[in-house]
Structure 1
Amino acid sequence: MDLDPDLAALRPLAGFFVLRTEGASAGPLPTLAQAYAPVAPDVSANPLIFRVRKVATALRAPELRVAASLTHQGLAARLWSIALGCAALYGRVPDLDSRLLRWDADGSAPDDLFLTDVRPLPGDAATLADVVLHGHLIPLAAALHARHHLAPGLLRGNAASALAGAARELDRWARRHGRTDVAARARALTSELLAHPLLTGAGNLDGTAFRRRSCCLYYRVPGGGVCGDCCFTRPPRSSPRAASG
């Protein structure tokens, strides 16, 4: 199935999977490429810095690095959901070049993204890795590591967890609607992607269940606890930095 200009097949999945396209007005919103760029002297103009501070305030995070990790996880979940959803439903994926994606950093979760031009690409795992990992998660991780000193293992775990979470939601939707073909494609792509050098070793996948080997630091948010795929079974009492490696 060819990609349609509105990516309408994603709409029934809702949530993290939906992507606004050229038919919607993104106005003066910045691109994700601008968010990943080295910080200019006027840090208030950087949408990534703005988003981290917004998340920190909303969750009453005890330090910005916790909010930075959750910001990273949220964007990773959005990007993987869109790419994996398109690949499983259409057999194609739109070019998600960071210069084509506009981001409302002041929006609510899930992150509000607008794609200004739908350019179809193959829907294989290598293309998804190029589009999401190389096109977004590497520069995003570099930007957050430089400013907030997030550990590479934490960022790799966030990326893998976000992919596994997208696959799990897609599998649930596909099974409810009798789309076993979609579920099978999503599982196959996810398994191949988790074996990518940038994600391998981040956790263990068993069917659609994933257990990561790092922690996103959500337990440090007041009332947060641990996530369903966390390496911990209960919030640790040790130094918060011990969970980020």
Structure 2
Amino acid sequence: MDLDPDLTALRPLGGFFVLRTEGAAAGPLPTLAQAYADASPDVYGNPLIFRVHKVANALYAPESRVAASVAHQGLAARLWSVALGCAALHDTVPDLDARLMRWDADGSAPDDLWLTHVRPLPGDAPTVADVVLRGHLEPLSAALRAHYRLAPGLLRGNAASALAGAAREVDRWARRHGRTDTAARARDLAAELLAHPLLAGTGTLTGTAFRRRSCCLYYRVPGGGVCGDCCFTRPPRSSPRASSG
């Protein structure tokens, strides 16, 4: 199935899957490529630092690295949702080249991301991995590690958790609407992507349930607790560093 220029088929899945395509409306917003490359520590000059600061204030995060982890997983989930949703529904994905995507670091889904040109690519797992993992999550992780003390294993776990969460949402929507083919494709793509060298070993996928081998540090947020796929069954009481790998 061909992609329509407005990606309207993703709208029934919810706002987290929606990607705006009105390039002109994005105005002077920076591209994600610019955000990943920005080395400035200025909270109002660097969109990535601004986003982490915004998350920290919203969650009353006790450490900037906790907010950075949550911000990372949130953006990863947005990117996986768009790519996996398109691949499962259309068997094709839009080219999400970071130079084509504008980002409002102060916005929330679906107003945070704009794709300035819809260019279809094959919807197979290797292409989705190139689009999301290579095109976004590698440079995003590098940028966050340059500014915050985040372990590579934590970031890989975040990426895997976000992927599994996106697949689970597609599967639920597809089953509710009798789209068993779409549900099966979402599960198969998730399983293949989680076997990618950049994600292999991050956790265990059973059907649509995922258990990661690392922790995103959300338990350190006041009242946060542990996430449903966390390696911990209860918030640890030992050194906070023990959860970062």
Same fold (TM over 0.5): yes
Going from structure 1 to structure 2, the CA distance change for 1:223 and 1:111 (only over 3 Å counts) comes to farther
TM-aligned CA deviation for residue 46 of structure 1: 0.9
* Residue matched to 1:105: 105
* Residue matched to 1:134: 134
Could you list the per-position Cα deviations for residues 84-130 of structure 1 after superposition, in whole angstroms to 9, with x for gaps in the alignment? 00000011000000011111101135671110000000000000000
TM-aligned CA deviation for residue 240 of structure 1: 1.0
Whole-Å Cα distance in 2 between the matches of residues 138 and 93 of structure 1?
Answer: 19
**2:123 equivalent to 1:123:** yes
Whole-Å Cα distance in 2 between the matches of residues 111 and 197 of structure 1?
Answer: 32
Percentage identity across aligned positions? Answer: 83
* Residue matched to 2:147: 147
Q: Any conservation in 1 of the 2:18–2:110 contact (CA below 8 Å)?
A: no
* Residue matched to 1:201: 201
* Residue matched to 1:33: 33
Q: Any conservation in 2 of the 1:74–1:110 contact (CA below 8 Å)?
A: no
Whole-Å Cα distance in 1 between the matches of residues 81 and 234 of structure 2?
Answer: 28
* Residue matched to 2:219: 219
Partner AA of 2:162 in structure 1: A
Q: Unaligned regions of 5+ residues in structure 2, if any?
A: none
Q: Any conservation in 1 of the 2:23–2:117 contact (CA below 8 Å)?
A: no
Partner AA of 1:101 in structure 2: M
Could you list the per-position Cα deviations for residues 165-196 of structure 1 after superposition, in whole angstroms to 9, with x for gaps in the alignment? 00000000000000001001111111000000
TM-aligned CA deviation for residue 15 of structure 1: 2.5
Whole-Å Cα distance in 2 between the matches of residues 54 and 80 of structure 1?
Answer: 22
Whole-Å Cα distance in 2 between the matches of residues 187 and 159 of structure 1?
Answer: 16
TM-aligned CA deviation for residue 239 of structure 1: 1.1
* Residue-pair matches, total: 245
Q: TM-score, normalised by structure 1?
A: 0.97
TM-aligned CA deviation for residue 42 of structure 1: 4.9
TM-aligned CA deviation for residue 41 of structure 1: 6.7
Q: TM-score, normalised by structure 2?
A: 0.97
TM-aligned CA deviation for residue 23 of structure 1: 6.3
Going from structure 1 to structure 2, the CA distance change for 1:111 and 1:59 (only over 3 Å counts) comes to farther
* Residue matched to 2:70: 70
* Residue matched to 1:169: 169
Q: Unaligned regions of 5+ residues in structure 1, if any?
A: none
TM-aligned CA deviation for residue 74 of structure 1: 0.2
